[in-house]
Amino acid sequence: MTRAAVLALFMSFLTSCAAMAAQSFIPISPPDAPLLDSLQGQSAVQTPPELLEPLTGFQDISPADQRFKDASIVRPGDIVDIDVHYPIFDKILIDQDIALWAHRVVDTFTKGLDDDHASQRQTRNELRASYTVSYASSRSLTVTYEIWTYTGGIHGNNDIITLSYDVESGQRLLFEDLIVATDTALERLSAYCSDALRKTLGEDLDETMLKNGTAPDLDNYSSFSLFPAGLRIHFQPYQVAPFIAGAQHVDVPLEVLLDAGPRLELWGRVRR
Which residue type occupies 207? E
Q: Give buried/exposed letters for 117-156 (b at 16+ CB in 10 A, else e).
A: ebeeeeeebbbbbbbbbbbbbebbbbbbbebebbbbeeee
Return the pLDDT at 59.
Answer: 57
Task: From 62, 66, 71, 60, select the one nearest 44 (Cα to Cα).
Answer: 66
pLDDT tens by residue, the chain, 272 residues: 444 444 455 555 555 554 444 343 333 333 333 433 433 333 333 333 333 344 445 555 555 556 789 999 999 887 889 999 999 999 999 999 999 999 999 999 888 776 655 555 567 889 999 999 999 999 999 999 999 998 877 777 889 999 999 999 999 999 999 999 999 999 999 999 999 999 998 888 889 999 999 999 999 999 999 999 999 999 998 899 888 888 899 999 999 999 999 999 999 987 76
Domains with residue ranges and CATH for the chain: 3-173 (3.30.565.40), 176-267 (3.90.640.20)
Can you tell me the distance from the alpha carbon of 237 to that of 154, in angstroms, rounded to the nearest whole number?
15
What's the distance, CA 247 to chain centroid? 13
Task: From 170, 146, 171, select the one nearest 156 (Cα to Cα).
Answer: 146
Q: Map residue 213 onto helix, strand or coil.
A: helix
Cα–Cα distances in Å, from 126 out to 78, 84, 97, 109, 118? 10, 10, 24, 9, 11
Report field, pTM of the whole predicted structure over 0.85: no
List the beta bridge partners of residue 257.
Answer: none
Angle, in degrees to the nearest 10, between helices 3-20 and 92-115: 160
Residues whose CB falls within 8 Å of the CB of residue 54, separated by 6 or more in sequence, listed in order: 137, 228, 229, 267, 268, 269
Judging by beta carbons within 10 Å of its beta carbon (0-12, 13-18, 19+), is residue 218 exposed, middle or buried?
middle
Can you tell me the distance from the alpha carbon of 121 to that of 63, in angstroms, rounded to the nearest whole number?
35
How do beta strands 80-88 and 69-75 pair?
antiparallel
Return the pLDDT at 153.
Answer: 72
